[in-house]
């Protein structure tokens, strides 16, 4: 992960309070419709299934521009997007929530994808983010990171006593 700078001023009080007080769209960890019938994803899907995640009750909180609690907020990205296609989402993991090691299918399908991650809260012990063999710690709210490889395996878990919230941004060329 490459540190690009701190953009804490981008995080408004209204945005942060909205994310902290709403659970957005409760999203299942295991989403077979995103993985089935695509040979490029079979190995990862089978690993998730063998590990037992489809049998558990594992969810996380996700927010997009269509999420009801964000519809009245004017959310602009913290960096110029230079005429590229993009999509963004926020992830909130409440204590005990997680996402097992996975890759995001859209980055394998996108052309020239670049991935960014920005925590909206300071690092706390128990906020765990792993990308390949890299463990991200000691970050500050607003620190923006570019992924070395957008299609890398990554996972996150919150074993702290407080929520963990991040902005996820994918930028790519249109076809």
What's the confidence (pLDDT) of residue 32?
Answer: 67
CB burial class (10 A; 0-12, 13-18, 19+) of residue 104?
A: middle
CA-CA-CA-CA torsion for 171, 70, 167, 132, nearest 10 degrees?
Answer: -90
Cα distance between residue 111 and residue 85, in whole Å: 10
- Write out pLDDT tens, residues 72-120: 898 988 888 876 788 899 999 999 998 888 888 777 777 888 999 999 9
What are the backbone angles phi and psi of residue 165, rounded to the nearest 5°?
Answer: -130, 135
- Tell me the H-state helices in the chain: 13-21, 42-51, 105-109
pLDDT, mean over the chain = 87
What's the confidence (pLDDT) of residue 118?
Answer: 97
What's the confidence (pLDDT) of residue 99?
Answer: 86
Position 56 confidence tier, pLDDT thresholds 50, 70, 90 = low
For the whole model, what pTM was predicted? Answer: 0.88
- CA angle (125 as vertex; 120, 127 as ends), nearest 5: 50
């Amino acid at each position: 992960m490459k540190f690009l700078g701190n953009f804490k001023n981008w995080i408004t009080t209204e945005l942060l309070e909205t994310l902290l007080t709403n659970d957005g769209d409760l999203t299942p960890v295991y989403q077979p419709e995103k993985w089935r019938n695509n040979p490029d994803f079979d190995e990862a899907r089978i690993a998730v299934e063998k590990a037992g995640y489809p049998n558990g009750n594992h969810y996380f909180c996700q927010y997009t521009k269509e999420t009801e609690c964000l519809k009245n907020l004017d959310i602009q990205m913290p960096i110029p997007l230079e005429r590229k296609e993009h999509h963004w989402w926020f992830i909130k993991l409440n204590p005990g929530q997680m996402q097992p090691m996975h890759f995001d299918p859209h980055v394998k399908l996108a052309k020239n994808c670049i991935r960014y991650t920005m925590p909206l809260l300071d690092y706390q012990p128990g906020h765990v983010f792993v990308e390949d063999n890299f463990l991200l710690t000691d970050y500050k709210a607003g620190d923006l990171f570019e992924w070395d490889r957008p299609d890398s395996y990554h996972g996150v878990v919150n074993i702290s006593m407080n929520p963990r919230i991040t902005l996820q941004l994918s930028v790519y060329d249109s076809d």
